[in-house]
Amino acid sequence: MDFPKTDHLVAVDSEVRLVKTAIISVDPLRIKNNAPALLSASCLVEPRVGDMVICALAGDGHAYILSIVERLEPNKESVLHFSAPLEIITPSLSIKSIEMAVFSEKVECHIGKLKRVVDSVEDFVENCLVSFGTFFMLAKRSIKRVEELDETRAGHLKLESPTLLEMNGAVTAISGEELIKMQSKQIHMG
């Protein structure tokens, strides 16, 4: 079993000096006077060159960036930096954004109840497998175009239209193992 490094728990406490300084390099991370710096675990926003930061200067020569107090380019994208997986535990979470992009190799959702209100949706899916207990769809219009095979298997299939039900094809085959029944006031064939 691996235990985390705990040497610092028994080390003598040391004093630190707080300074306000600027970031001069991010790869590697350096502050003014070309001193190397480390990002503290509580400083989640990734610093950029020119940002003014509060640093803790330790007696051992390490500089720890505690927070960013002023951005050189405040309108530029901010990056939250985590070196380990992130878990958010909260009774409620709200995200408000004009635009959002999500990029991931894998996404898992375990949702008790989902309500979506969407003006427009475009889905581009290579393969899709969907399983429903009950599926109900209400639409003003439904148009489906299938280039190759469209297959429906059902225990009972009912097609109903109050005005017109139309089936046509170059070759149309209807077969029933026991009975085919056609019922109407008029039947036109040919």
Question: What CATH number is attached to the domain comprising 64?
Answer: 2.40.50
Alpha carbon distances (Å) from 25 to 48, 70, 89, 146, 160: 8, 16, 34, 55, 70
**Number of structural domains found in the chain:** 1
Amino acid 119: pLDDT: 93
| 10-residue averages of pLDDT along the chain (190 residues) | 69 81 93 90 91 89 90 91 88 94 93 93 93 93 93 91 90 90 87
For every residue of 67-130, DSSP letters joined together read: EEEE-SSTTSPP-B--SS------S------S------S------S------S------S----
In a domain, 168, yes or no: no
First to last CA, the chain: 81
In a domain, 32, yes or no: yes
In a domain, 169, yes or no: no
pTM higher than 0.85: no
In a domain, 112, yes or no: no
In a domain, 187, yes or no: no
Amino acid 1: pLDDT: 57
Residue 82 CA to its chain's centroid (Å): 17
In a domain, 21, yes or no: yes
Domain extent at residue 50:
16-70
